Structure 1
């Protein structure tokens, strides 16, 4: 078995392997690597394991740089998961060892490896309150089965959105700019810096048929939007936003209902709602759709395990967020798009 650096010679083999692997995420596809490289100019020294001319393991890596210039490995930045996919634990260990040798040669001291517990889903009884988890819904075969599987309260909330005369559009010419407008306003309210518009252009261009932009409108005004990406197994929603002043319309419910339907149409087995703190409000929102928690297992090599990724954030984060929300939208868009690349979460 050989551990080699990924080159264009193996691009098709990489994606073919990822699409067949039962633990793969959309972030493992090379479309994500291409977006990292073209948008934020990150170097991505991906590794793969080859045995008898076949791929038996892959390890995505990005060289992440802080705003102060310090470099580290990250697998992967700006998403929840991006660890090794392999045929065995032995192959995983060889990939990790090769990556650490590569780190030493590049004088890089630290590597954040973002994994999660494995699919299929398991009971949540042993998960600690506040722990970071992925919220995963096992998808049925049809829209009708999805609808009938919801509790009455969820169906009522979706119907309310329809009664409020909200409409839903998918992949229209204006969808990307409308999504970005809603996203920027929502991120300002949350006190979070925004990705640059070119980041989402990159995702849209590189994922091609594996990306969908969903927009919910009221009287032709975009009031909620989401961008979903999928591999063969999993459909993920890395970015979804709605305008707070329209919360009473249940736009968010209609948005997620339509994104789930698209995932079924794409033949995905699971829908990944993204990261939440176990038991908290975003967890409860995702839980109502039938999603189950899958613990995240982030670790920093070679130093320490991180059982709770949020624990690594500065205590000043909440103060900065409050100040951020008072800045003008134009200012938060400009400043945020300049600094977001330096925030790996």
Structure 2
């Protein structure tokens, strides 16, 4: 079946609820330029920027843009540059921002899986290795639980997410962010836990638009990866959304040729590009990227810190990185 991406291109990232949750969590100031929304990210370490949008696969952007207004915005806010995140199917917006002076800085990938068909048809289309991985998780008594209460959210955050973020060498989001996502998004936020003997070993966070679902986070504790919980978590969500009349499952922004890229690729989605574009008339700039040397060094250091320390200072760092 053909993906009608252009018709279904509005995602959760373009909603007021998402933008409000992010802004409130990290005290970002919102600026609107011809209906394109940018958030002001301030950081002594990583610099001041205007981004559409932090922690989002895509920005809230329109093709009605003019370079003079961007230049004026830079002068009024004293930021180093503007950053816009544009998927390849928004050709008109991409062209308009390029003509307004934005340049490509980084190209990410995503995979769009058509889930209009029944879950039974989708199951039969999965590769043999994926189906076997799902069966293996079930055979080894991996159980799934949806986060519903505040206590569930605390279990996800303190018993799983903080540990998983440190293992990856990444500063964690604040608990406040997840509270705000829960309050602003309501049932548009899905967090599912994988448990073995009642111990959380993995989780998935999915954000829901009207017919478009975004795979936003995956947590898999290194010690328990042999249980293949990520496969079961993903399939369970895809199965539910497919039978619930969703049309697209978006696997989310990923660097090409990384481990997570190949994990997402084998689910059979249509590979697409996401352009991180920057506007900086005075100098060439490169947005923060986990593959840059200074971030790799920071990541190695982060893995050695006590969990309590990562929780205290992590949200201040990640708010400034704003990837």
Which residue in 2 is equivalent to 1:196?
174
Q: How does 1:1-345 map to 2 (within 5 A)?
A: 22-47=8-33, 58-68=35-45, 70-85=47-62, 92-94=63-65, 98-118=69-89, 132-173=108-149, 174-180=151-157, 181-303=159-281, 314-345=292-323
Q: Which runs of 5+ in 2 are unaligned?
A: 1-5, 92-105
* Aligned 8 A contact 2:288 2:321 in 1: no
Stretch deviating more after TM superposition (192-201 or 176-185): 176-185
For residues 167-192 of structure 1, what are the alpha-carbon distances to aligned partners after superposition, in whole Å with 9 as ceiling and x for unaligned?
11123324322221312111101111
Partner residue in 2 for 1:17: none
The whole-number CA distance in structure 1 between the counterparts of 2:231 and 2:136 is 9
- Specify the alignment match of 1:54 in structure 2: none
- Residue 37 of structure 1 deviates from its aligned partner by 2.4
TM-aligned CA deviation for residue 80 of structure 1: 2.2
Post-superposition Cα deviations, 1:283-341, rounded to whole Å, max 9, x if no partner, equal 110011112321121111134888x9676864121122112111121222222123221
Structure-2 separation of matches of 1:305 and 1:69: 15
**Once superposed, what is the RMSD of the aligned Cα atoms?**
2.6
SS of corresponding position for 1:114: strand
Report the Cα offset of residue 112 of structure 1. 0.7
Question: Deviations along 1:94-138, whole A, 9 cap, x unmatched?
Answer: 366545444433344410111121179xxxxxxxxx952122222
Q: Name structure 1 gaps, 5 residues minimum.
A: 1-19, 49-57, 86-91, 121-129
Q: Give me the whole-angstrom Cα distance separating, in 1, the residues matched to 2:124 and 2:152.
A: 29
Looking at both structures, which has the greater relative contact order when contacts are Cα pairs under 8 Å and sequence separation is at least 6?
2
Secondary structure of the residue that 2:206 maps to in structure 1? strand
Rounded to whole Å, the distance in 2 between the matches of 1:109 and 1:311 is 16
Distance 1:94 1:317, change over 3 A: closer
Q: Secondary structure at the match of 2:245?
A: coil
Question: CA–CA distance in 2 between the matches of 1:305 and 1:23?
Answer: 30
Query: How far apart are residue 144 of structure 1 and its match?
Result: 1.4
Measured in 1, the distance between the counterparts of 2:274 and 2:65 equals 22
Deviation readout 1:208-231 (Å, 9 max, x if unpaired):
121111111111111111221111
CA distance in 1, matches of 2:187, 2:276: 30
Equivalent in the alignment of 2:100: none
Residue 278 of structure 1 contacts residue 293 of structure 1 at CA under 8 Å; is this kept in 2?
no
Number of residue-to-residue matches in the alignment: 301
Q: What SS class does the counterpart of residue 215 from structure 2 fall into?
A: strand
* TM-score, L = length of structure 2: 0.84
